[in-house]
Amino acid sequence: MKSAITCPAIYRSFAPAFKLHYLLIIMVHHQIVIIGGGNAGISTAAQLLRKNKSLDIAIVDPADKHYYQPAWTLVGGGVFDINKTERTEASVMPKGVTWLKQKALSFAPDQNQVELENGPVQYDYLIVCPGIQLNWNAIKGLPETLGKNNVCSNYSFRICSIYL
Ligand SMILES: Cc1cc2nc3c(=O)[nH]c(=O)nc-3n(C[C@H](O)[C@H](O)[C@H](O)COP(=O)(O)OP(=O)(O)OC[C@H]3O[C@@H](n4cnc5c(N)ncnc54)[C@H](O)[C@@H]3O)c2cc1C
């Protein structure tokens, strides 16, 4: 494509085709777009597909790993294996879903569009479930002592079982 663009005559004759091609690449559209492939996103997609398997659903999530967080309570209590709470994101993706392995950056609801790292995706329906952001810093001294001094938290895969 580069060599065609450097030659004006060829560029003029092919430009409309290139523009169309470019539009097709950037205007990705799915009937349903789900932001977040955690428990909420994965189970919502699976339930929708169970009702209608012809639905066109995309899940947006950059993560390699999926965590079943509720089990961390049992892990902390010493009755469940931490390794069983971690799976690859690919292994939990429902069959028939398009996985957009990218981060959602911003929302443009007036255009039914979400900006992703590699460009926008458009939707008819949007489901937003990116989880929560833990703010350890809200408690003075907590970040420094987490994982030390007998302080742990069942809200963290890394430290929920370190004192077992
Ligand atoms: C110890 C513990 C016990 C719990 N017990 C219970 C319980 O008994 N019952 C209950 O209902 N809940 C419980 N919870 C809460 C539980 O974590 C949630 O119910 C559920 O796992 C959250 O799922 P989620 O999909 O909303 O979030 P998560 O599982 O956190 O998934 C969010 C996903 O969004 C992705 N994401 C984040 N930002 C972006 C972005 N910008 N773009 C794209 N993707 C993004 C992340 O990569 C992640 O994969 C517990 C939690 C903990 C830690």
Domains of the chain with bracketed CATH: 27-67+77-132 (3.50.50.60)
Residue nearest atom 50 of ligand 1, based on CA coordinates:
70
Give the ligand 1 atom nearest the CA of 66.
49
Task: Give the global pTM.
Answer: 0.86
Nearest alpha carbon to residue 126 among 134, 118, 116: 116
Q: What is the percent of the chain where pLDDT is above 70? A: 84
pLDDT at 4: 30
pLDDT band at 27 (very low <50, low <70, confident <90, very high): confident
> What confidence score (pLDDT) does residue 8 get?
42
Could you report the per-residue pLDDT of 113-136, keeping only the tens digit for each?
999 999 999 999 999 999 999 999
User: Which residues are bridge partners to 29 per DSSP?
Assistant: 122
Higher pLDDT, 78 or 19: 78
Instruction: Quote the CA–CA distance of 35 and 155 in Å, as a whole number.
Output: 21
Predicted confidence (pLDDT) at residue 9 exceeds the cutoff of 50: no
Task: For residues 40-65, give the mean pLDDT.
Answer: 98
23-120-12 Cα angle (round to 5): 20
Higher-confidence residue: 10 or 102? 102
The model's pLDDT over 75-92, given as tens digits with 9 standing for 90+, comes to: 999 999 999 999 999 999
CB atoms within 10 A of CB 32: 19
Nearest atom within ligand 1 for CA of residue 160: 1
Q: Are 49 and 112 in contact (CB under 8 A)?
A: no
